[in-house]
């Protein structure tokens, strides 16, 4: 047979080589996309954890600011705070002074499943979860009767497979300047 009379096309071996090369290339692209998606998921989780801690600190700062230095007690080790908060329905008396007799006693502490910030209103008998995935909370004051309270919340999520995100806890800091005086 002359070369012009031969059949034109690919042999089975040539087709198998092409399929193998295409499979390797597709696998590499898939792994690159999967790694990118994983990193995006980790970044989203970090932002969610940080936002959750930031929202909890905002709520705590707003309420601590309305207390008075003599009405604040920071727990041993700084892992809890208890303070009096003016009753939202009647915060002042007839002389426009803070009505501390009807004030609510609030406590913020790490609790629940062990990784939540719990807000407890002893007078109303209510509890509220402010944040999840909390590994540490620290309250510090500038004196025995603090006029400035610093709150540090550290957040980190541990998955059931043991993976921890982020590798080291994210710390979010807030400060509350106490603006009322007690009578």
| pTM for the whole structure | 0.79
Between CA 46 and CA 41 the distance in angstroms is 9
- Per-residue pLDDT band for 1 (boundaries 50, 70, 90) equals low
If one counts every other C-beta atom within 10 angstroms of the C-beta of residue 41, the result is 11
74-to-34, 36, 127, 178 alpha-carbon distances in Å: 47, 44, 19, 14
Query: Which pLDDT belongs to residue 182?
Result: 73
Say which DSSP state 65 is in: T
Q: What's the pLDDT tens digit per position in 21-52?
A: 999 999 999 988 887 887 888 888 899 999 99
Q: What's the pLDDT tens digit per position in 115-161?
A: 999 999 999 999 999 999 999 999 999 888 889 999 999 999 988 88
The token pair that represents 107 in the structure block: 């406590």
């Amino acid at each position: 047979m002359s070369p012009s009379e031969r059949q034109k096309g690919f042999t089975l071996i040539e087709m198998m080589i092409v399929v193998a090369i295409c499979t390797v290339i597709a696998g590499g692209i898939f792994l690159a996309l999967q790694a990118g998606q994983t990193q995006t998921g980790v970044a989203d989780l970090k932002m969610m954890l940080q936002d959750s801690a930031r929202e909890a600190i905002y709520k705590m700062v707003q309420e601590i600011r309305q207390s008075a230095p003599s009405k604040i007690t920071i727990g041993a080790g700084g892992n809890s705070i208890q303070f009096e908060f003016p009753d939202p329905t009647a915060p002042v008396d007839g002389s426009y002074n803070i009505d501390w007799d009807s004030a609510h006693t609030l406590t913020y502490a790490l609790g629940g499943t062990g990784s939540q910030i719990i807000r407890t209103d002893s007078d109303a008998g209510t509890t509220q979860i402010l944040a999840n995935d909390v590994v540490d909370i620290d309250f510090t004051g500038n004196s025995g009767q603090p006029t400035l309270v610093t709150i540090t919340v550290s957040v980190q999520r541990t998955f059931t497979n043991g993976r921890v995100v982020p590798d080291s806890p994210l710390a979010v800091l807030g400060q509350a300047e106490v603006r009322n005086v007690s009578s």
